[in-house]
Amino acid sequence: MGNTFLNLALLIIFHFSMATISMKLTTILTDQSALLVLKDHVIHDPANVLTTSWSASAPVCNWFGVSCGSKHRRVTALNLSGLGLVGTLPHHLGNLSFLSLLYITNNSFNGRLPVQLSNLQRLKYLSFGINYFSGEIPSWLGSLTELRTLFLYQNNFKGVIPFSLGYLSKLEALYLFENQISGSIPSSIFNISSLQIINLSDNMLSGSIPSVPRDLHSLELIDFTTNNLTDHMPKDMFDHLPNLKELFLSFNLLSGRIPASLFKCKKLQKVLENFLFCSNPFISGELPRVVGNLSSSLELFSAYSCNIRGSIPSEIGNLSHLINIELGGNQLIGQIPTTIGGLEELKSLSLDDNKLEGSIPSKLCHLNKLAFLFLTNNKLSGPIPACLGDIPTGVADLKDLTDFSLSNNRIMGSIPESFDELLEGEIPEGGSFENYTIESFKGNEALRFSYHELRQATDGFNDSRLLGNGRYGSVFQGTLPDGTIIAVNVFKLELEGALKSFDVECDVLRNTRYRNLVKVISSCSNDLNFKALVLEFMPNGSLDKWLYSNNQYLDILQRLNVMIDVASALEYLHHGNATPVVHCDLKPNNVLLDEDMVAQLSDFGIVKLLCEDVSVIQTMTMATFGYMAPEYGIEGIVSTKGDMYSFGILLMETITRKNPTDEMFEGERSLKSWVIESISSLRNQVVDPKLLSTTGREHLKVKNCALSILQVGLEYSAELPNERLHMKEVVTKLKKMKVKLLRDMRHVR
């Protein structure tokens, strides 16, 4: 009887032991099975990591990227970041019930997130960033209540941000930037008391920024850059963010006054940074006096072109560590606060394009580290501070100085005698200059070049010095006796219109100064027999040379920079002068590149000046075929809209490396129609093959950027002038593309 009970007891113990072992084996096998299914869903493994490491014959806890817990020997972490894997996520991953970390950042996974991942209730760290996941952000993510980080950035998610994310009460970092998310920011986000970082930038979010209903002591960074957020910011928003350090709200449509509560954030390090959306300002109203309450460690205060009104509060002098103040392009009035003179670390002060009055504070002389001071286009008066001089006599000793402007102010004092031999260019004919004789300008040998000097500089206008031919003349490379290299545009006066072209180009270039416009050094005019312009030499030649040479190459960033430079030049010509200037002949040959590859617009021989209140004129002078707007070619109608059409064509040519006059474009087929056809049919050959020589994710990022630029080109080359967008808008669009490209390339390298 005793033996019977003993045997029965042993049988029961054996049964439960086997069951326990079986259960343990089953759970390990469950994890292994789920990972093997994931392996099967990976269609490309460039480094063969999964192929060589993930084998059923090896313990799953020893597989690459897999970590197991010491207690239960279950898979607790899966990190496959940066392996270049291509594939989809199987629903079997939801069986990894002990998983606390899931990182597959920087791969090429696509498709939707399987709902079975909602079973991972132990998950704390989730990163699917830099992939190609699509569909809506799942609402079931809100059920993963142990999450500390949720990274879904740089994917293709659409739709709205689920309200349920506000249930993640332990969340510390939320990264959803660079998707295609729309709708409004859910108010529930600001219910998460543990949140430290929220980045929703580079999406299509709209509506207003929600109120913050409670104190969020942990929140240090908010980034809502590059969305379509509108309306006023909540007045009390910053009352509940005492530890906010960084705030990014640029490239939105925000309006209203700056909430006074903002300046209660004493730890704020970066505020109102890089506001470039000039026509849709975030700020209206005034800077409150409590601006001085910001952190004394603040280094950058930038609110350029934000429609700020009123005066600059003297309390800005409390921000003792400021390095850069950018308040240009606003509606500021009153005087420059003397307290700015106490900012000993200040290196750059930009207050240009405002309505500031009074004198320049002498206390600015205390700013020993100040390198850049921009005060142009204000209503300043009185003497220049003594540390600078009336007009500093020492300027004459600055041998490399090429531009010195004190224009559009009311500065008093005399012109230093040391300037007597520094004058260059043509002597103005109007104003007070009518009262001077030529004797007044003796000693200024740089005022005009003689025919003999230019002939000597170009070896007799030798063909070996020929840089190119234009509509009305030829351009030669010249070398002055001091070694300076110049470009000499000699006009062919026998051609009809050449004389007028010389006069027009002199007039335009004399009255325009901009970094992206070719600079005139001087001129030479010998009655009606010889006329030439002496220009700054562009060592890297024209955009045309770089596009069509077999030995030279521009990458996507260089091409984008060139287009931004050209767009900026056109914006200046159209809107930066009292008299709008229409270039009329925009093409790659007229885009020159300096030694730093900065583009400068040239050839102003057929420009048209629009009189006040006149936006359209007619002309008989024809521009270059292929770049002309339809209304220009048919009716001779000239307007800034025509330049915008030409710029659209130039954008497409720069990206496709196809000249609009290429023999492939005949009949009804044009560069524009070919681009539309190619994009619609998803044909890759629309983009210059040289740009697509990269591989992997870099290839895709370059292609996406190129296609975005082509889309802008199509928008600006609309057939009807009224359908073409404003030149200010294209500058903003291209700069956004550059920011995104740089960010993308930083992640893929």
Residues marked active site are found at 585
CA 619/CA 584 separation, integer angstroms: 10
Residue for token pair 């070049």: 449
Which parts of 93-165 fold into alpha helices (H)?
none
CA 413/CA 147 separation, integer angstroms: 68
Q: Which helix (H) or strand (E) holds 452?
A: helix 451-457
CB neighbours of residue 58 within 10 Å = 11
Q: What is the DSSP letter of 27?
A: H
CA 672/CA 658 separation, integer angstroms: 11
CA 746/CA 617 separation, integer angstroms: 47
CA atoms within 13 A on the CB side of 444: 19
CA 698/CA 704 separation, integer angstroms: 10
Separation of CA 519 from chain center: 26
> Quick check: helix, strand or coil at residue 221?
strand
Sheet holding 285-286, edge to edge: 285-286, 308-310, 331-332
CA 260/CA 289 separation, integer angstroms: 9
DSSP string, 170-212: T--EEE--SS---SPPPGGGGG-TT--EEE--SS--EEPPPP-
Contacts of 464 (CB under 8 A, 6+ apart): none
The answer to whether 119 and 143 have CB atoms below 8 angstroms apart is no
Residue for token pair 């005139």: 520
What does the longest C-alpha to C-alpha distance in the chain come to? 139
Helix, strand and coil percent figures for the chain, each rounded to 5: 35, 15, 50
Contacts of 223 (CB under 8 A, 6+ apart): 177, 198, 199, 200, 201, 246, 248
Please, what's the b/e burial string for 282-297 (b: 16 or more CB within 10 A of its CB; e: otherwise)?
Answer: bbbebbbeebbbbbee
